[in-house]
Amino acid sequence: MSTPAPTSTPSTVPPLPPDAYVRMALVLRVGLGLSLALLAGGLVAYVVAHPDASSSSILAQTPILSYLSFAGLGSGLASGSIEAYLTLGLVVLVATPILRVFSGFYYFRRAGERSMTAITFAVFVLLLVGVLAIGPYVR
């Protein structure tokens, strides 16, 4: 007597195409590269502009504090402020993983993977709450 072969139900959710993972990794690479370029360039420019400043005097002044709003950052970048470019580098550094999570949400949603879409959306919301709600409260 032969036993019937186990039947497996075919997956109704197609896997993500490999280019989706490549694009999500590209978001991280571009964001990190841009952030490093902004921070390194801003740091070099700051040291050249303030050669006698020590790290304790810089931290006591909190030079990027006035650029932590959209209006302040925009006006600082328009005026060519070194501190505004340092702030922009930090903003890009923080925004990079958030954009990566959002791109994962987009691709999982597009592929119809409900559980991964829900998990990725929850992580995205938690990151936004942390950055936009809890972060300013702590500051």
Q: Say what the pLDDT of residue 3 is.
A: 63
Q: Residue 101 and residue 97: Cα distance in Å, rounded? A: 6
- Nearest Cα to Cα of residue 97 among 128, 118, 67, 74: 128
Mean pLDDT of 66-94: 91
Mean pLDDT of 128-134: 88
Tell me: pLDDT of 5 over 90: no
- Nearest Cα to Cα of residue 104 among 13, 36, 22: 22
Q: Residue 60 and residue 125: Cα distance in Å, rounded? A: 33
Q: Say what the pLDDT of residue 10 is.
A: 52
Type and span of the H or E element at 21: helix 18-49
Q: Do residues 71 and 83 touch, judged by C-beta distance below 8 A?
A: no
Q: Residue 87 and residue 67: Cα distance in Å, rounded? A: 7
Q: Say what the pLDDT of residue 7 is.
A: 57
Mean pLDDT of 102-123: 92
pTM of the model: 0.76
> Phi and psi at residue 24, in whole multiples of 5°?
-65, -40
Q: Residue 88 and residue 76: Cα distance in Å, rounded? A: 10
Tell me: pLDDT of 96 over 70: yes
Q: Say what the pLDDT of residue 132 is.
A: 85
